[in-house]
Structure 1
Amino acid sequence: MFKSRASRAATLAACATFLLATSACGTEEPEEAATQQVRLYGTDGNMLNSYPAELKDRAGLVDGMKGTTPLTPLPEDFKNRLRSVDPKLGDFLYSAEAYDAVVISAIAAQLAGSTDPAAIAKQIVGVTNDGQRCERVAECLTLARAGRDVEYRSVSLTRAGFTDAGEPSTASYGTLHFDGQRLNDGKTEFVGAGDESAASTKAPPKAKKQRGDQNDRSDGSPLVLGGLLSQTGDLALAYPPISAGTKLAIREINAAGGVLGEPVVWIDGDDGTNPAVAKATVARHVAQKVHVIIGASASGISRAVLPDVVRAGKVLFSPSNTDASLTELDDDGLYFRTAPPDSLQGRALADVILRDGPQKIAIVARKDSYGEGLQGTVRAELERAGIGGDRLKLLTYDPPADAKANPVDFGAGAKEIKDFGAEAVLVIGFAESAQVIRALADAGVQIRH
């Protein structure tokens, strides 16, 4: 039944007057007004402009979805430099962290005066703490060649340096919003986290001054870096910005004279978001005498390959691992990351959810160290804020083993969430998590837009 224009205007005016913020305004179907609406939340694995495409013809389901991701306000100059590498770049997630992982590795090798991975590893934390501050690649490498200790600050590393464990002591998070099937940059908010006092105060080995413009290669030059990034698999949607960050860093390092008198060599490599694929790539990098491996993209993949990397005596430096438990792994001092641990993101994410005042919250996570780790951290933060266990529902799903595997079947979980009466659903996953959102809609869960 259609309404006259005057009748519709009167209805809308009445709603505005009495602030009746319900779906009954402007409709003659009151039974829908009583239906519980659910707000969706996401994390760094799915808060990307490329994510709605995973929902295909139902991409509009993401509109209204909010979430957090490690993100610092990126200067336009840096974005433009990234676009010079990839003109089609639509996301910037972890691009700054990838850039900094490569640059820090290069500065550390120059300070070590060697491409020996163990020597590089001993310099990495020190590169970010208690030296002469520098922000540009050319400036930092000039200081390092002169044997000067540096304190590197750049796009992702702005407030404080690494902890003794080789990870950021502070972080910046962005609160992102999907509107019109894209992230609305105008709504992005930034919040800081972490403690500057946690930065390492240990002095690195004394820097070695470079002798002459060219070396005799007794230092092991050239420095060879190998990628272990998700060119394929569930995290491939985040590959373009990470790839752009690594390539930009290599280009600018070599334009500034390279490391140890030689251009840095980059060898691509795929982790497939799959342990078997990643292990095979690591083996190839070891055979090709790679010194530092940049990756893996996913925390669970780094956990799987780290024993192989340590056994080979190489450095593993990830721009996007956030699983908090990786801090405690036995890594022989060879594992580092520029992405902050989820112990920090969990607090930011819980705050975003709590601001909307839901009384019942479901947290759905992919069943791996990243998903379950962040799920546990968010749960702890919500409980600390007074959300009791009876108001929380935790569910997990098995991610597909590879591209040939059947998609995620979350039908039963979606029904549980509907019966639970959740008002908020946090989805922790990568591209495959789109199947969770589809299942919620199929189960009759009314997603709030």
Structure 2
Amino acid sequence: MLISRASRAATLAACATFLLATSACGTDQPEEATTHQVRLYGTDGNMLNSYPAELKERANLVDGMKGTTPLTPLPEDFKNRLRTVDPKLGDFLYSAEAYDAVVISALAAQLAGTTDPAAIAKQIVGVTNGGQRCEDPASCLALARNGQDVEYRSVSLTRAGFTDAGEPATASYATLHFDGQQLNDGKTEFVGAGDESAASSKAPPKPKKQRGKAADAPLVLGGLLPKTGDLALANPPIAAGAALALKEINAAGGVLGEPVTWIDGDDGTNPEIAKATVASHVEAGVHVIIGAGGSGISRAVLPEVVKAGKVMISPSNTDASLTEVDDNGLYFRTAPPDSLQGRALADVILRDGPRKIALVARKDSYGEGLQGNVREELERAGFGSDRVKLLTYDPPEDAKAAPVDFTAGAKEIKDFGAEAVLIIGFAESAQVIRALADAGVQIRH
């Protein structure tokens, strides 16, 4: 079900008023005051079918967990096409955003008539606004080759294009539920967020009609995706989306008269690994970097990307503060900022009528940024500091590091009497759930 931003705001306000009087709101029944059970909530980093495996023999602890993720209803045709590049694909998070990141990069290069990153960057926002509407690589490339400006719409980019800052003006979020140690698609709901009027109205440089093969072709894309590290559980759908886009672009004749080239690369969910990959891509002559996976990783490598004059477009960065990052006009993202997801998450939590809420986040720009967005939304709903507890944890530096120890934090949550715990993290956040159970917190299933 799609709900406008205005309707959501009205619903949230009504919910807050009703909460103060009854401690319940929405369709779910309120918690019994005497049970002191805690309901778990998650976000895009852990609301994945692959996440319960991180809990191993205690995977059932996720049952009943709810959460949100940037996700639009994916057509079965798109899912089936993704399976042609990865038959084992079990999750689809950020697959559409990865697909669109690659297609938008290709269209921008075709319209620019060159693989020069600076010229490509000047076309990216315009690719999504104000031209001839098209919805697949073949038709969009045909228009672009003929010197026609395009307005690209696809699976993740449906209602509006990019803002002047180079990110989606609108978004769709899915509310997900774990049942039987997997996501129950039958319970998934969709809500809309954002404002179509925020889309850019600036005209890009005039498109260049293709006249033979460009001298600086082929366009070279470099992956900077989380093949390893804490975010590796989200890599399969992201990689599949990028691979599908590349396959379909080249099947449609490529860009500037040549097939687009892909150079694989790992961000490791680790700044040092990501920096080494960026350096390798710069040496190899990559024009556009697709990634990084995590917001904190992109923030860490962006100075190197900008220094090298390369374009970077991420399918999964959501840290709201990246909207204002110093990028010299070279950084873009197809994932929406967490200022939008914060509203959706607060709405989901408030529906269940908790009186005390704990917000747990990994200590990085993604975790603390989204935690702050949710806190602000809860404050607007009337929740003061006595009813919201903020906790963070340090994520492991690498695969060899000791697991997260959240023992002290779990005790704080139990003593606080929280009835809802939001966990903002990646694979490592499973240790937070383990710690809560070990502390005697009764998790509602």
Q: Which amino acid aligns with 2:237?
A: P
Provide Cα deviations, 1:194-224, integer angstroms capped at 9, x if missing partner: 0000000000000000013xx1x42x11000
Provide Cα deviations, 1:274-324, integer angstroms capped at 9, x if missing partner: 000000000000000000000000000000000000000000100000000
Name the counterpart of 1:201.
201
Name the counterpart of 1:344.
340
Name the counterpart of 2:41.
41
Paired residues for 1:374-413 under 5 Å:
374-413=370-409
* 3-state secondary structure, aligned to 2:386: helix
Matched, 1:414 2:410: yes
Name the counterpart of 1:173.
173
Determine the C-alpha separation between the residues in 2 that align with 1:357 and 1:248.
42
Name the counterpart of 1:80.
80
Determine the C-alpha separation between the residues in 1 that align with 2:36 and 2:121.
53
Identify unmatched segments of 5+ residues in structure 2: 1-28
Q: Which amino acid aligns with 1:315?
A: V
- Rg larger in 1 or in 2? 1
Provide Cα deviations, 1:325-370, integer angstroms capped at 9, x if missing partner: 0000110000000000000000000000000000000000000000
Determine the C-alpha separation between the residues in 2 that align with 1:285 and 1:308.
11
Name the counterpart of 1:125.
125
Q: Which amino acid aligns with 1:327?
A: T
Determine the C-alpha separation between the residues in 1 that align with 2:158 and 2:84.
23
Q: Which amino acid aligns with 2:436?
A: L
Total equivalences in the alignment:
417
Name the counterpart of 1:316.
312
Q: Is the 8 A contact 2:31 2:353 kept in 1?
A: no
Paired residues for 1:140-289 under 5 Å:
140-212=140-212, 215=213, 217-218=214-215, 220-289=216-285
Q: Is the 8 A contact 2:30 2:354 kept in 1?
A: no
Give the CA deviation at 1:136: 1.1
Name the counterpart of 1:28.
none
Q: Which amino acid aligns with 2:311?
A: V
Determine the C-alpha separation between the residues in 2 that align with 1:21 and 1:66.
15
Q: Which amino acid aligns with 2:102?
A: V
Name the counterpart of 1:114.
114
Give the CA deviation at 1:387: 1.0
* 3-state secondary structure, aligned to 1:37: coil
RMSD between aligned alpha carbons? 1.1
Q: Which amino acid aligns with 2:71?
A: L
Provide Cα deviations, 1:154-213, integer angstroms capped at 9, x if missing partner: 00000000000000000000000000000000000000000000000000000000013x
Determine the C-alpha separation between the residues in 2 that align with 1:430 and 1:68.
14
Seen in structure 2, the aligned counterparts of structure 1 residues 21 and 296 have a Cα distance that, compared at 3 Å, is: closer
Provide Cα deviations, 1:388-435, integer angstroms capped at 9, x if missing partner: 110000000000000000000000000000000000000000000000
Name the counterpart of 2:442.
446
Determine the C-alpha separation between the residues in 1 that align with 2:320 and 2:423.
18
Give the CA deviation at 1:35: 3.9
TM-score (norm 1): 0.92
Structure 1 residue runs of 4 or more that deviate by more than 4 Å after TM superposition = 20-23
Name the counterpart of 1:8.
none
Match 1:362 to one of 355, 358, 364: 358
Determine the C-alpha separation between the residues in 1 that align with 2:61 and 2:336.
29
* 3-state secondary structure, aligned to 2:38: strand
Q: Which amino acid aligns with 1:75?
A: P
Determine the C-alpha separation between the residues in 2 that align with 1:299 and 1:433.
17
Identify unmatched segments of 5+ residues in structure 1: 1-19, 24-32
Name the counterpart of 2:57.
57
Determine the C-alpha separation between the residues in 2 that align with 1:22 and 1:154.
41
* 3-state secondary structure, aligned to 1:233: coil
Give the CA deviation at 1:21: 9.2
Q: Which amino acid aligns with 1:128?
A: T
Determine the C-alpha separation between the residues in 2 that align with 1:98 and 1:195.
22
Q: Is the 8 A contact 2:356 2:417 kept in 1?
A: yes
Determine the C-alpha separation between the residues in 2 that align with 1:185 and 1:147.
42
* 3-state secondary structure, aligned to 1:406: coil
Q: Which amino acid aligns with 1:138?
A: A
Determine the C-alpha separation between the residues in 2 that align with 1:414 and 1:76.
41
Name the counterpart of 2:102.
102
Determine the C-alpha separation between the residues in 2 that align with 1:190 and 1:235.
24
Provide Cα deviations, 1:87-128, integer angstroms capped at 9, x if missing partner: 000000000000000000000000000000000000000000
Provide Cα deviations, 1:241-291, integer angstroms capped at 9, x if missing partner: 000000000000000000000000001000000000000000000000000
* 3-state secondary structure, aligned to 1:351: helix
Determine the C-alpha separation between the residues in 1 that align with 2:307 and 2:221.
18
Name the counterpart of 1:7.
none
Q: Which amino acid aligns with 1:121?
A: A
Q: Is the 8 A contact 2:95 2:238 kept in 1?
A: yes
Determine the C-alpha separation between the residues in 2 that align with 1:308 and 1:359.
46
* 3-state secondary structure, aligned to 2:390: strand
Match 2:294 to one of 298, 302, 308: 298
* 3-state secondary structure, aligned to 1:262: coil
Determine the C-alpha separation between the residues in 2 that align with 1:157 and 1:228.
22
Bigger relative contact order, structure 1 or 2 (CA pairs below 8 A, ≥6 apart) = 2
